[in-house]
Amino acid sequence: MMWISTTTPVDIRNRLVRLARVLAASVTLLSVVSVEAADKVAPKPQWSTRDMPSQKGRIILITGGTSGMGYEDALALSRAGAEVIIAARNPERGAQAIARIRQAVPDARVQFETLDLADLSSVRGLAERLNQRLPRLDVLINNAAIMAPPERGTSADGFELQLATNYLGHFALTGLLVPLLRQSQDPRVVSLSSIAAARGAMNFDDLQAERQYEPYAAYAQSKLAVLHWAFALQRRSEAAGWGIRSLAAHPGVAVTELVERGPGLNSEFGQRWAQDRDAYHSAAQGALSTLYAATAPEAAGGAYYGPIGDEEKRGPLGFARTPAAATHEADAERLWTVSERLTGVTYR
């Protein structure tokens, strides 16, 4: 049986046009990837605090700096000569953290400010105090977080507690401090996400988990929100010429008080955590990605840093994998609009 082609010259031409368009798009995509890679220098895998440049003369604010990775940030940055402000809820724990830092670094310039990220009036109060007395702010490290409380809690403003503490409070604080940041010659905002963000989804139909609360889903959503916001802030900074580098980081899995204060050590999650904790790294190791983003001259705005070994739970420092959901700019813009409405804060 003879096969007779019914393809016309017009069909062939149309196919060639479509093929040319696909190839052109592929070349463009490869160009974008190449340029982006060329613009961002990967961290030295074994980067440590010994590689950190002097921070003398720099003013750095760290939320949640009384324990865990926030404390390690404050200690390392004090050693490097920075003026460090620890902002957290408990003044007593703040005093203890400062005493420990000064014992290790006698000439440390470190102070405490009260801040409850789950209370927007407290966020505004801190921003007002800092705007009144500081000449500038060089680095803001949005570190404080809570994880997976078993029961749904609400903030002073009526928001789901994890979203309020991990994301909305930081969104508001950063926006209120943009004027101070813009006074710096090298302003940076470093926001802490989590490998849990890869399991997150922005549930705009039930953002506050009012209809259904699942502790770990709410935590993952809050950390995905942090990533969306960090990338969106970098885009806005570039568009408006603010000069602010917005960077994201995650610590992998570090031994801190997060589990103890969240699901609890007696929970199923807490028991698994206790069994496996020898496989995790220390809070000091977990802090390295944040410290790199905050201090390394080559750290790039819009980048996401973290450990890159063992499913990113620990290991050498590098570019963290960005969850596919965090690349959806439409979601990021929608979240930004919602966040402005909920917090009443507009970035200027």
CB atoms within 10 A of CB 99: 11
Contact 207, 338 (CB under 8 A): yes
Q: Would you call 135 exposed, middle or buried from its count of C-beta atoms within 10 A (0-12, 13-18, 19+)?
A: exposed
Q: Would you call 199 exposed, middle or buried from its count of C-beta atoms within 10 A (0-12, 13-18, 19+)?
A: middle
- For residues 179-208, average pLDDT: 97
The pTM of this model reads 0.86
Domain assignment present for 163: yes
Among candidate residues 71, 219, 292, 304, the one labeled active-site is 219
Domain assignment present for 25: no
Q: What is the structure's pLDDT at 281?
A: 73
Q: Provide the domain count of the chain.
A: 1
- Residue 178, classed as helix, strand or coil, is helix
Domain assignment present for 234: yes
- For residues 208-236, average pLDDT: 97
Distance from C-alpha of 187 to C-alpha of 174, rounded to nearest angstrom = 12
Domain assignment present for 19: no
Domain assignment present for 297: yes
Q: What angle do CA 325, 326, 330 make, to 5 degrees?
A: 85
- For residues 156-180, average pLDDT: 98
Q: Tell me which amino acid residue 48 is.
A: S
Contact 227, 199 (CB under 8 A): no
Domain assignment present for 178: yes
Q: Given pLDDT bands bounded at 50, 70 and 90, which one contains residue 266?
A: low
Domain assignment present for 32: no
- For residues 81-88, average pLDDT: 98
Distance from C-alpha of 226 to C-alpha of 332, rounded to nearest angstrom = 10
Cα pseudo-dihedral 47, 53, 54, 59, rounded to 10: -90
Distance from C-alpha of 137 to C-alpha of 135, rounded to nearest angstrom = 7
Query: Is 305 noted as a catalytic residue in this protein?
Result: no
- For 93-103, what is each residue's pLDDT tens digit? 999 999 999 99
More confident: 274 or 200? 200
CATH of the domain at 155: 3.40.50.720
Q: What is the structure's pLDDT at 22?
A: 33
Distance from C-alpha of 214 to C-alpha of 121, rounded to nearest angstrom = 27
Q: Which domain holds residue 327?
A: 48-343
